Chains A and B, each alone.
Chain A
Amino acid sequence: MTKKPRKTGLIFFPAFDWAISPTHPEREERLLYTQDQVFEEGLLDFENIIEFKPGMATVEDINRAHICVPDARSVITESHLISAGGAITAADKVLRKEVDNAFALVRPPGHHAMLVVHGARGFCNINIEAVMVEYIRKHYGIRKVAIVDTDCHHGDGTQDIYWNDPDTLCISIHQDGRTLYPGTGFQEEMGGPNALGYTINIPLPPRTSDEGFLYTLENAILPILDDFQPELIINSAGQDNHYSDPITNMRFSARGYALLNDRLSPDIAVLEGGYSIEKALPYVNMGIILAMAGLDYDSVREPDFNAESLRQSDELTRKIERDVAEIRKLWKNRYSFKKKMVGDSRYARRQKGIYYDTDGISEHQEETVRICEDCGGLVLIDSQADTGNRIYAVIIPRHACPTCRREGEEFYGKIPVQQYSHVYLQDRDKDNFQVKSR
Chain B
Amino acid sequence: MILGIDVGGTHTDAVLIENLHVKRKTKVPTDEKNLLNSLLAVTTDLLKDEQLEKLERVVLSTTLSTNAIVQKKTDRVGMILISGPGLPPSLLPVQKDSVHIRGYSNHRGAEMAAIDPGEVVEASRRFREKEIQQIGVVGKFSTRNPKQEGTVRDLLEGSFQHVSMGHRLSGHLNFPRRIATTYLNESIWRRYNTFISQIQGFVRDQGINVPIYILKADGGTFDIEHSREFPVQTILSGPAASIMGILSMARCRRDAVALDIGGTTTDIALFADGVPLLEPFGVTIEGHKTLIRGLKTRSIGLGGDSRISVTDGGLQIGPVREGPAYACGGPCPTPTDAMIVLGLTGIGDASLARKAMEDVGRQMGMGIEDAARAVHEETCRIISAAVTSMIEEVNNKPVYTIHEMLEGKKLVPKTLFVVGGPAEPIAPRLAELLGIPAQIPEHAEVANAIGAALARTTAEMTLLADTEQRILTIAEDGYQESIPARFTKADAIRIGQDRLREKVKGMGAREEDLEIEVIEDMEFNMVKQFYTTGKNIRVKVQVKPGLIAGFAAGGKP
What does the 1/0 interface line of A42-77 toward B look like (CB < 8 Å)? Answer: 101100000111101000000000000000000000
Chain B CB within 8 A of A433 CB: no
> Among the listed B107, B403, B405, B525, which residue makes an inter-chain contact with A36, where contact means beta carbons less than 8 Å apart?
B107
Complexed CA–CA distance, A282 and B405 (Å): 24
A53 and B399 contacting across the interface, CB-CB below 8 Å: yes
Chain B CB within 8 A of A193 CB: no
- A350 to chain B minimum Cβ distance, whole angstroms, is 35
What B residues does A301 contact at CB under 8 A? 85
B526 and A29 contacting across the interface, CB-CB below 8 Å: yes
- B370 to chain A minimum Cβ distance, whole angstroms, is 38
What A residues does B406 contact at CB under 8 A? 78
Q: What is the number of residues of chain B that contact chain A, defined by CB distance less than 8 Å?
A: 43
Q: What is the number of residues of chain A that contact chain B, defined by CB distance less than 8 Å?
A: 48
- B292 to chain A minimum Cβ distance, whole angstroms, is 14
Mostly, the A contact residues are loop
> Among the listed A18, A27, A42, which residue makes an inter-chain contact with B402, where contact means beta carbons less than 8 Å apart?
A18
Complexed CA–CA distance, A82 and B140 (Å): 32
What B residues does A290 contact at CB under 8 A? 87
> Among the listed B86, B107, B397, B536, which residue makes an inter-chain contact with A53, where contact means beta carbons less than 8 Å apart?
B397
What A residues does B402 contact at CB under 8 A? 15, 17-18, 78-79, 82
A53 and B396 contacting across the interface, CB-CB below 8 Å: yes
B85 and A300 contacting across the interface, CB-CB below 8 Å: yes
> Among the listed B104, B175, B524, B530, which residue makes an inter-chain contact with A41, where contact means beta carbons less than 8 Å apart?
B175
B524 and A302 contacting across the interface, CB-CB below 8 Å: no
- B466 to chain A minimum Cβ distance, whole angstroms, is 12
Give B268-323 interface residues, CB cut-off 8 Å to A. Answer: 281, 289
Chain A CB within 8 A of B389 CB: no
Complexed CA–CA distance, A17 and B175 (Å): 27
| Contact flag A29-B86 (CB < 8 Å), given A18-B402, A304-B112 | no
Chain B CB within 8 A of A286 CB: yes
Residue in chain A with minimal CB distance to B526: A29
A32 and B536 contacting across the interface, CB-CB below 8 Å: yes
Residue in chain A with minimal CB distance to B113: A303
What B residues does A51 contact at CB under 8 A? 398
Chain A CB within 8 A of B401 CB: yes
Give how many A-B residue pairs fall within 8 Å (CB-CB).
Answer: 114
> Among the listed B104, B173, B400, which residue makes an inter-chain contact with A16, where contact means beta carbons less than 8 Å apart?
B400
A35 and B400 contacting across the interface, CB-CB below 8 Å: yes
B107 and A303 contacting across the interface, CB-CB below 8 Å: no
Chain B CB within 8 A of A295 CB: yes
B527 and A23 contacting across the interface, CB-CB below 8 Å: yes
Most interface-central of B85, B174, B532, B536 (chain A CB within 10 A): B85
A22 and B91 contacting across the interface, CB-CB below 8 Å: no
Chain A CB within 8 A of B222 CB: no
Complexed CA–CA distance, A51 and B401 (Å): 15
What B residues does A140 contact at CB under 8 A? none
Chain A CB within 8 A of B522 CB: yes
Chain B CB within 8 A of A167 CB: no
Give B378-420 interface residues, CB cut-off 8 Å to A. Answer: 396-403, 405-406
Complexed CA–CA distance, A295 and B112 (Å): 25
What does the 1/0 interface line of A1-44 toward B look like (CB < 8 Å)? Answer: 00000000000111111100011010111001101110111101
B176 and A53 contacting across the interface, CB-CB below 8 Å: no
Complexed CA–CA distance, A304 and B402 (Å): 34
| Contact flag A278-B108 (CB < 8 Å), given A12-B398, A22-B532, A78-B402 | yes
What B residues does A357 contact at CB under 8 A? none
- B488 to chain A minimum Cβ distance, whole angstroms, is 16
What B residues does A296 contact at CB under 8 A? 88, 90-91
What B residues does A304 contact at CB under 8 A? 112
A303 and B112 contacting across the interface, CB-CB below 8 Å: yes
Residue in chain A with minimal CB distance to B522: A16
| Contact flag A246-B529 (CB < 8 Å), given A28-B524, A40-B141, A41-B86 | yes
Chain A CB within 8 A of B348 CB: no
A23 and B175 contacting across the interface, CB-CB below 8 Å: no
B84 and A303 contacting across the interface, CB-CB below 8 Å: yes
A286 and B398 contacting across the interface, CB-CB below 8 Å: no
A40 and B530 contacting across the interface, CB-CB below 8 Å: no
Give B225-255 interface residues, CB cut-off 8 Å to A. Answer: none
What does the 1/0 interface line of B156-183 toward A look like (CB < 8 Å)? Answer: 0000000000000000111111000000
Q: A16-B522, A39-B172 are in contact. List 14 more A-B contacts (CB 8 A).
A: A15-B400, A23-B527, A29-B526, A41-B175, A42-B174, A42-B289, A53-B396, A53-B399, A78-B402, A79-B402, A246-B529, A278-B108, A299-B85, A305-B85
On A, residues with C-beta under 8 Å from B are 12-18, 22-23, 25, 27-29, 32-33, 35-37, 39-42, 44-45, 51-54, 56, 78-79, 82, 246, 278, 282-283, 286, 290, 295-296, 298-305
10 A-B contact pairs sorted by A residue (CB < 8 Å): A23-B530, A25-B530, A28-B524, A29-B525, A29-B527, A40-B141, A41-B176, A42-B175, A282-B107, A305-B85
